[in-house]
Structure 1
């Protein structure tokens, strides 16, 4: 489609502009579209606060919820700030592949393959320095970790969806509301139920502000 759907329909379109949705977002009446739909003063050049995060990172996502003009275009962007020894913990993007570039600092990154025929899950990991690029395929569990004790790291990620979604593994498994039965999780992880109860009692926070 040469133009985003936000602009593509004419006055004579038979599509009901007030009800048509793409990925859950209503397409704006093309006669009401203006430059602000494609602009956001996001200040992505400025550092984010990582001190409030238990995992030591802060993800600033620019997706269709912040920038309406992205609707139907299949892209989004994120700035990720990592404190010294901070991480973006294991998570997946169910609707997007991610390509990440380190702007400052160092990162240890990786992703794990889906279940293989030999019942293995292979880890692909690298240490990235300033200017390096790494790709995380859609839907696979991946992570980033700043291994440096005294310097923060900053990265910029592009994602192949206007609404990529994020499922942080620990949050989803141990922090669901209501919680998953500890009988289920104890057997799945091959540990005692007391261990599961302790994990479920922790505060699992979202670093995607």
Structure 2
């Protein structure tokens, strides 16, 4: 069969348009939610940040420093996450990447958490970490969620799939440092213990007691703790 210019043109058009409108999909959200309003004048929102006038852009919009300095691990977790997300580094907007530095005191933990909008790749620079992630509920109700975990040393790399609960724990006798990258400018973070026991307003104690199969007294104690995060950026370091 001879391929004519018309056939080539039609083939390119099909590739450009797609086989059907059903092939289209919504982009991943870059925020937790975006409530719809009927009045277009009431609010304006874009999936990301509004773009700066290119004429006013400078090199500083693509620059951040301080990732060579240790984070303050004097908190209940014994860890500190210093991030370079779009709120900290405006030049990341629309690029789909971001970065964090994680510092660990001995026995420090980056507690079980998940990133709803990004996968994560982590490289250990110093120390020894125990890191892993847990799969979602298996189709067979009799099966258990599976843990994938490794002991990581300097130069080792580990990947955490998008949306799965994961953690890092310093099992060494010295401080540890890791760098992690994300395929989102705003990966989001849901720290499990903080979210469950530190929400405002609090989840009813009887709900959590029944869910975790513990006493309401224990739940009330956990809710009374100061559940602060370990990912507040040290602005004086940047």
- TM-score range for the pair, normalised by the shorter chain length: 0.7 to 0.9
- Structure 2: stretches of 5+ with no match in the other structure: 1-42, 233-238
- Pair 1:143-2:161 in alignment: no
* 1:95 counterpart SS class: coil
Structure 2 counterpart of 1:154, from 166, 177, 189: 177
Number of aligned pairs? 188
- Pair 1:78-2:116 in alignment: no
- Structure 1: stretches of 5+ with no match in the other structure: 1-18
Q: Which has the higher helix share?
A: 2
Partners in 2 of 1:54 and 1:134 — Cα distance? 25
Offset of residue 152 of structure 1: 0.3
Structure 2 counterpart of 1:93, from 101, 109, 115: 115
Q: Which has the higher strand share?
A: 1
* 1:65 counterpart SS class: coil
TM-score (norm 1): 0.86
Partners in 1 of 2:47 and 2:136 — Cα distance? 25
Q: Trace 1:1-209 onto structure 2 (pairs within 5 A).
A: 22-40=46-64, 42-51=65-74, 53-119=75-141, 120-148=144-172, 150-209=173-232
Give CA deviations for 1:3-43 in whole Å, capped at 9, x if unaligned.
xxxxxxxxxxxxxxxx9754342221222222111112x22
Give CA deviations for 1:74-108 in whole Å, capped at 9, x if unaligned.
00000000000101000011111000000011000
* 2:131 counterpart SS class: strand
TM-score (norm 2): 0.76
Q: CA, structure 1 residues 36+20, in 2 after alignment: closer, same or farther (shift >3 Å)?
A: farther
Q: Over the residues paired in the alignment, what is the CA RMSD in angstroms?
A: 1.4
Q: Is the 8 A contact 2:48 2:94 kept in 1?
A: no
Aligned to 2:8: none
Q: Is the 8 A contact 1:95 1:161 kept in 2?
A: yes
